[in-house]
Structure 1
Amino acid sequence: MTKLTVIDGGKSPSGGGPEDPMIEARVGRLEEDVREIKADIREMRRDVSELKDRFSRMEVGIERISARLDSIPNVWQFAMGLVTTVVAVAALLVSLR
C-alpha cells in the first residue's frame, strides 16, 4: 500500500504564503514604496543633470583661470627680469662716468 502524506494548507509558521490575509496590504505597501523609490530616482536624475551643468561651467572657469596663471611670470622669470634690469642700469651708470 502507498503511504499518503497530508500537507496542511494553512498559514506557514512565518506568516507568509498565498493564504496570508495580510498579503494585499503587504503588496499595497510594497507598491507605494516602489512609487516613492521611482520618484526619488527621478529627482536624483534631475539633480545629477544640474550637477553636470554646474561642473561644465566650473570647468570652463578653471580653464580660464589656468590660462591666466600661465601668462603670469613665475618667480624665476621675475627674478631674472629684475637681475637683468639691475645689470642694465649698472652698465648705463658705468658708461655715463
Structure 2
Amino acid sequence: MGDVVDFNLPGEAKRGNIGGGGPEDPMLETRVENLERDMKDIRSTLHKSELLLIEIKAHLVNCATKDEVAKLREDVIDVRARIATKDDVAALRGDISNVRQDTAELKGRFDGLDKRFAYLPSTWQMITFMVTSQIALAGLLFVAVKFGLK
C-alpha cells in the first residue's frame, strides 16, 4: 500500500471518504433517487421476465421429451427406408407399362372372339332349327311308314 499515490484534486473527497462526501453530500439524495428509479425499472423487468418464464413453462408441458424425440427419429428412419427410390419408381412404371400392353392384347383377343360369336347362330335360331328338323323327320317317317317300307 505504500506505493499508492493519492491523486485527490481540489474539491474531491479526501482519502477514507471515497464514494461520496457522506450524509451532508448534496448529491447523495439525487443518487439515491436515481437508484430507486432504476430499482423500479429492474423490478418491472423482473416481473415481465417472471411472466414470460411462467408462459414458457406452460408451453414446455406440450413439448416432446428426449425419449419421444429419439422415438420420432427412429420412426423417420423407418419411413425413409420404406420410401421408394427412383429405381423402384422406374421399375413400377415399367411394370405398369407391361400391364397396359397385356390389357390391350387381351382386349384385341376378346374383340376377335366377339366377331366369331357374331357368326354363330343365336339360341332362338337353334331352337327353331331343332323344332323344324324334328317335324321334318316325323313327316318323313310318316311317309315312309304309310307308303312304303314293308
Q: TM-score range by the shorter chain?
A: 0.5 to 0.7
Residue of structure 1 in register with 2:26 after alignment:
none
- The residue that corresponds to 2:34 in the other structure is none
Q: Give the corresponding residue for 1:81.
A: 136
Change (3 A) 1:8 1:30: farther
Tell me which of 68, 71, 75 is aligned to 1:13.
71
The alpha-carbon deviation at position 8 of structure 1 amounts to 7.2
Q: Which runs of 5+ in 1 are unaligned?
A: none
Q: 1:12 to 1:66 in 2, by over 3 A?
A: farther
Matched, 1:32 2:90: no
Letter in 2 for 1:86: L
Per-residue CA distance 1:58-94 (angstroms, 9 max, x = gap): 1111222336xx46831x322211111122334444x
SS at match of 2:136: helix
Root-mean-square deviation over aligned CA pairs: 3.5
* Correspondent of 1:66 among 121, 130, 143: 121
Kindly tell me the number of residue pairs found equivalent between the two proteins.
86
Q: Identity over the aligned pairs, expressed in percent?
A: 17
TM-score under structure 1 normalisation?
0.59
Bigger Rg over Cα: 2
TM-score by length of 2: 0.42
Structure 2 spans left out of the alignment, 5+ residues:
1-50
Cα distance between partner residues in 2 of 1:89 and 1:45: 64
Q: What residue is the counterpart of 1:53 in the other structure? A: 108
